[in-house]
Amino acid sequence: MKPKSVTLHPDLIRHPFSQNFKGARVSKKSPMLTDYRQGKRHLFISPKKGDIFHICASLDTRYICCSTHVISHISNCPFECTYCFLQNYLTDTTLTVVADTKAIMAEIKDKVAKQPWRFFRIGTWELGDSLALPPLNQMAAALVKEFALTKNCVLKLRTKSSAVEPLMDLDHQGKTVVSWTLNPPEIIAKEEIATAPLEKRLMAMEKVARCGYPIGLHFDPMILFNGWQNAYEGLIKMVFSAVRPKDVIWISVGSLRFNPEMKKKIENNYPSSKITAQELVLGDDNKFRYPRPVRQDMYSLILDCLKNVGADQCFTYLCMERWNVWERVFGRYPVSIGHLDYLIARSVHKRFPKTCPTMPPKGKYMALSY
């Protein structure tokens, strides 16, 4: 997918990343598009302005969150997932990429140095997909090289694409996790418009796993439809015929959730989607979700399937769920957000020591406040 137009900030004219955009319009200003769909087709390459490294904005202390960190250097996305929260979030919808890797890394290094004992998982997907466009992929490759030199960080690329070529042959030092959001083909076709089909995602996954990258799997958002049980069971079988459980660093499971204001937006933008017509309840975080018993059934099914394919050794966690749901699904629950952060770090240290070389100090994680 090629952007219809590219605007380059003059400060970046000599930046190596910009060399791929000869002939781009040069302007200090973003085209400032407001239409969500239109913005997806126009790229603005921007210098870094202000802080872009922070904890995931979805964190809510009433839920058990994985407290991942993110760099918000990508804004908007060429894909068209019907459930995407960006429809209701962006004011300037222009697909924007902060290209200044050095400045991004300087901010990260400065901030992570304040907690040298902590294992930072840092995602690039907060406001977009990590590998959706060739320009983003080069950016991702630059970050992979930078992260290879860090001590207590791991870069999390998360995508629904199959464009992994720029990641091949990089010396990643196990410091980058390439992850995929996964759904059955029925959902990809109807609700994840313009993304790579499942087979392509799996082929890409196989390739990066062969290059030694740890793989992350995100069965999130799970979406309810007739026959969902068989479809998700089939999905897990397909995934684990492409990669081995020992390649998988973590698995997250979550279900569809969106703000009430999004309902109308989704119905207008994607009238044939039925995701908003399912039975949904409003949670304490003002997000619609499937009723708790339904979510529990969905998550339990995933866990059973993972067990059946021998992937129960992979660290699996629920995304943005309540402790009582954890208890129902796993029979136990992390007592705090810091506890889950610790459990993830401990699992990575044990299974992927190159990625997290030091044993995480439990006490310090438990004392974290959010």
Partner 1 sequence: MERISLACEKISLISPGELDTSLDFSSKLNPFKTKDQELLLQGLERSGILSPILSIKKTGNPNPLVIDGFKRIKWALSSKIDTVCVITLPQMEEEELVVFLTTKYAPTLDTCVVRALFLYFLVEKSFKHKTIVEKVMPILGLEPHKGLLERYLKIAGLPHKLLLFCHEKDFSLKRCINLSYKPRRLLETIIGLNGIISLSASLLQELCDNIHDILRRDDMDVEAFFELKQVRDILGMEKDPSTKTRLLRRFVWQMRYPVLSSVHAQIEEIEKRHFSNMPFCIKWDRSLENRKITITGSVSSPNELDSLIDALSDKGTKEGINKMLARF
- Tell me the window of 26-34, 72-80, 140-148, 335-343 that interacts with ligand SF4 (CB under 6 A): 72-80
Under rule CB under 8 A, residue 282 binds partner 1: yes
Residue of the chain from 7, 276, 316, 355 that contacts partner 1 (CB under 8 A): 276
**Which residues pair with residue 321 across a beta bridge?**
64
**For residue 95, which of 14, 35, 173, 151 has the smallest C-alpha distance?**
35
Under rule CB under 8 A, residue 274 binds partner 1: yes
**For residue 351, which of 312, 300, 296 has the smallest C-alpha distance?**
312
Partner that binds at residue 324, options ligand SF4, partner 1, none, CB closer than 5 to 8 Å by kind: partner 1
Q: Which is nearer to ligand SF4, 112 or 208 (CB)?
A: 208
Residue of the chain from 15, 207, 292, 349 that contacts partner 1 (CB under 8 A): 292
202 contacts 242 by C-beta, under 8 angstroms: yes
Residue of the chain from 3, 39, 128, 135 that contacts ligand SF4 (CB under 6 A): 128
182 contacts 219 by C-beta, under 8 angstroms: yes
**For residue 53, which of 118, 116, 98, 93 has the smallest C-alpha distance?**
98
Q: Which is nearer to partner 1, 62 or 307 (CB)?
A: 62
Under rule CB under 6 A, residue 201 binds ligand SF4: no
Give the strand order in the sheet containing 248-255: 53-55, 69-71, 120-123, 153-159, 176-181, 215-222, 248-255, 315-318
Q: Which is nearer to partner 1, 216 or 221 (CB)?
A: 221
**Which residues pair with residue 98 across a beta bridge?**
46
Under rule CB under 6 A, residue 81 binds ligand SF4: yes
Cβ neighbour number for residue 269 with a 10 Å cutoff: 16
Under rule CB under 6 A, residue 43 binds ligand SF4: no
Residue of the chain from 26, 59, 86, 238 that contacts ligand SF4 (CB under 6 A): 86
Partner that binds at residue 31, options partner 1, ligand SF4, none, CB closer than 5 to 8 Å by kind: none
Residue ranges in 141-170 that form contacts with partner 1 under rule CB under 8 A: none
The C-alpha angle 303, 162, 253, rounded to 5 degrees, equals 20
Under rule CB under 8 A, residue 277 binds partner 1: yes
Maximum separation of any 2 CA atoms in the chain, in Å:
58
**For residue 218, which of 197, 235, 206 has the smallest C-alpha distance?**
235
Report the b/e string of 51-67 with b at 16+ CB within 10 A: ebbeebebebeebbbbb
251 contacts 318 by C-beta, under 8 angstroms: no
Under rule CB under 6 A, residue 129 binds ligand SF4: yes
* Position 362, amino acid: K
Under rule CB under 8 A, residue 267 binds partner 1: yes
Instruction: Work out how close the CB of 293 gets to ligand SF4 at its nearest, in angstroms, rounded to a whole number.
Output: 26
Partner that binds at residue 81, options partner 1, ligand SF4, none, CB closer than 5 to 8 Å by kind: ligand SF4
Under rule CB under 8 A, residue 324 binds partner 1: yes
Instruction: Work out how close the CB of 293 gets to partner 1 at its nearest, in angstroms, rounded to a whole number.
Output: 6
159 contacts 130 by C-beta, under 8 angstroms: yes
Residue of the chain from 173, 269, 278, 300 that contacts partner 1 (CB under 8 A): 278
Residue of the chain from 84, 95, 112, 178 that contacts ligand SF4 (CB under 6 A): 84
* Position 317, amino acid: Y
Chain contacts with ligand SF4 (rule: CB under 6 A) = 77, 79-81, 84, 86, 128-129, 160
Chain contacts with partner 1 (rule: CB under 8 A) = 264, 267-268, 274, 276-279, 281-284, 291-294, 322, 324
